Amino acid sequence: MAYNYSDLDGESSILKGDYRITIIQVLVFVCICINLLLIVTFFKKDCFHTTARYILFALTLLTDSFLLLISDVLLIINYYRITMQMWLCIIITIFALFYFFITPVTLTAMTLERYVAICMPLHHGVLCSTRRTMHCILIIHIISSFPCIVILSPFFASIPDSFFRKCAFCSVETFMLQRWHEHLRSGISQFYFLIMCIVIVFCYVKIMKVAKAASGENKKSTGKGLRTVVLHAFQLLLCLIQLWCPIIENAVLHIDGRLFQKLRYVNYIIFSLFPRCLSPLVYGLRDETFFHALKSVFGFYYHKNTKQQIKIIILQRKRSHLMQ
């Protein structure tokens, strides 16, 4: 996973060379800045506050930004070989595990919302109302907390109190005390992978049938919805593959520690950073309504600042003329 960085085989970090960590810092900074721009746009426009897909989109942006920040902080801490007390590491790991699962669960909910909008348009206003969307967000958080509880419960049941005062490198592998703990973690990831894949395939097949039967404007709208689901599916696929990464990484760890480090670096770029850069593309740029809102919000600030700068320049010139 994106946040499971640990010190192995006497290596100073999972990354070899400062240029790799620099690349990650640049990518994380760009992703978080773009997400913040879109979050500001969402809160500035009241029309987005009553639409289910935009509310879920904002939840995805907030979750991704928070998870990227946590994983990046852990990366830097482990890169510079900084240890921390286990009680603090446990808190960070709980948040990281929790928010790690929120993104794929939210993407699945967004796919279901598109299914309802296209295949059940008469019921969309009722099923995807603002009130029910808030309930949906609560359900998303409950579903996402389940893996965290199951994975960490055996750990809390078997450690002494002195463990919390111990200082060590912060990694989720620290909490895998027994071999069966790793199998439990892998089993939960595979279970979520299977359920989400079934939901995505079901929605895609149903929307495809509606797209073939539609005509005119309905066909155009349905086709756009289908492409959105395809992007969601691709984004979700990358997130779901990340659920399998711990299984593959754990197998490689027992073979070659250095290969494990390189594999984790590649996994972080492809399956953690990249899918979280797709969220702004799906709704921030492809969606015409959100894109126009983005331009209007930041265009307003740009013109406002430009006018203020012009006024300042004019006043400065007037003062200079008076002094002459």
Note the pLDDT tens digit of each residue in 123-174.
888 888 889 999 999 999 999 999 888 888 888 887 877 777 888 778 777 7
Whether residue 232 contacts residue 225, with contact meaning beta carbons closer than 8 Å, is answered with no
- pLDDT > 70 in the chain, percent: 77
Q: What is the pLDDT of residue 204?
A: 81
pLDDT-derived band at 180 (thresholds 50, 70, 90) equals confident
Q: Please, is 218 exposed, middle or buried when counting C-beta atoms within 10 Å of its C-beta (0-12, 13-18, 19+)?
A: middle
Neighbours of 55 (CB within 10 A): 21
pLDDT at 222: 66
Predicted pLDDT of residue 323: 41
CATH number given to 18-286: 1.20.1070.10
Please provide the average confidence, as pLDDT, over all residues in the chain.
76
Phi/psi for 214 (5° steps) reads -75, 165
Give the confidence band of 220 by pLDDT, cuts at 50, 70, 90.
low
Asked whether the predicted pLDDT for residue 177 surpasses 80, the reply is no
The reported pLDDT for the residue numbered 140 is 93
In eight-state DSSP terms, residue 84 is: E
Nearest residue to 222 via CA among 235, 232, 209, 234: 209
Query: In sequence order, which residues have a C-beta less than 8 Å from that of residue 2 and are 6 or more positions away?
Result: 67, 71, 100, 242, 267, 268, 271, 272, 273
Residue range 197-214: mean pLDDT, rounded: 81
Is the pLDDT at 37 greater than 80, yes or no?
A: yes
